[in-house]
Amino acid sequence: MDEYTPMRKNITYWIKIILLLVLLQSCKSTTTLMKQEATLADKMGSRQTEYLYNRIKEIAKVGYAFGHQDATAYGMGWKNDGSIKRSDVHDVSGAYPAVYGFELGHIELGHSINLDTVDFKLMQKLIQRAHKMRGIVTLSWHPDNPVSKKSAWDTTAAVTEILKGGNLHNEYKEWLSKLANFMNELKDESGNSIPVVFRPFHEMNGDWFWWGKGNCSPEEYISLWRETFDILTKEYSVHNMLYAYSPNTLEKKEDYLKYYPGDLYVDILGIDIYQHGSSEEFIEALKNDIGLLQKIATDKNKPYVLSEAGLNEIPIANWWTEVLDRHIAKSGISWALFWRNAWPNHYFAPYPGQASASDFILYKNLSHVLFLNDVKKIR
């Protein structure tokens, strides 16, 4: 035994103690999240769904998570056939989104691919992968118009036809059974249901969807939401979903709660805010609408998010840091989800060589902007 042996043993001992404390702290944080009182809309919500809800609330204490629609399904000049792991966001920044948006439109028709040509079996795999990496999954749904049989953007009056007592109520229940089958098949490697955020019938204060303003009354919309919730949870036993309510940019403050289904039917409050005009107009909308959202969510003790956002083609070089982040950094949102990179004149996240790519890297490196590796730490 040399003269340094006792010192080495002492150092080794303390290293082990420190590692044990770190491990215990990690376990403690996970256990704490599991034990937190999570008041879910679905009173039968799974333990994993409660845990997701608590994680979402914790995220806002650190910063906000970055999300992208169809991030790993396709991008500029590529499409996933199931054999690759890729995203435009990763190609630019070296980091994957923390929040993954997917679209369920055409699941109700029994189609094998959604309205954005993503295969549903591939989508399941991508959701499983995102969940395994501790990402968060949020699902939008643009169901076809049940009366005209055209797209969600066909505004033929339809809501009363699918409500209880309506001529198409049974057909609507069949639609929901297909959605429920998809949700109940989402399992992790241990066979547990994968929890997701479900965001149906969004932007109802706009007039471009068949469930929107002018195409149904607020009372009819509320009945549609509540009946959908009850059918999914009580009749089809779907218990791995958090329910997110998200109007579009507000014209009047009163519009936010005009269609609100009630606290017992909603878990997360959101709002969709795109930049269609000047940066000044967009900034004003962010300030006003997220400010109002913060007040409502705080009063209701619910997490809140920027559920859709973006500037098409992102022609402003410093948009991410100077236009967007500067005005949402301290807003208390849990995430901001940016829309999909569909084709050369319709994309909302940068790709290599795109005008805002350099600024996006600066944005990604901001301590309060959370990507996948950052939210992994929130247990």
Other beta carbons within 10 angstroms of residue 344's beta carbon come to 9
Q: For residue range 39-98, what is the model confidence (pLDDT) as tens digits?
A: 899 999 999 999 999 999 999 999 999 999 999 999 999 999 999 999 999 999 999 999
pLDDT at 31 over 70: no
Classify 85 in phi/psi space as left (phi over 0), alpha (psi -120 to 50) or beta. Answer: beta
Per-domain residue ranges of the chain: 36-375
CB 86 within 8 A of CB 72: yes
Structure tokens at 173: 């229940």
Say whether pLDDT at 319 is over 80.
yes
What is the tens place of the pLDDT at every residue in 148-160?
A: 999 999 999 999 9
Q: Which of 236, 192, 171, 196 is nearest to 104 (CA)?
A: 196
5 pLDDT higher than 80: no
User: Of 68, 39, 43, which is closest to residue 54 (Cα–Cα)?
Assistant: 39
DSSP per-residue string spanning 202-233: --TTSSSSTTSBTTB-HHHHHHHHHHHHHIII
The superfamily CATH assigns to domain 36-375 is: Glycosidases (3.20.20.80)
Burial 224-249 (b: 16+ CB within 10 A, else e): bbebbbebbbeebebbbbbbbbbbbb
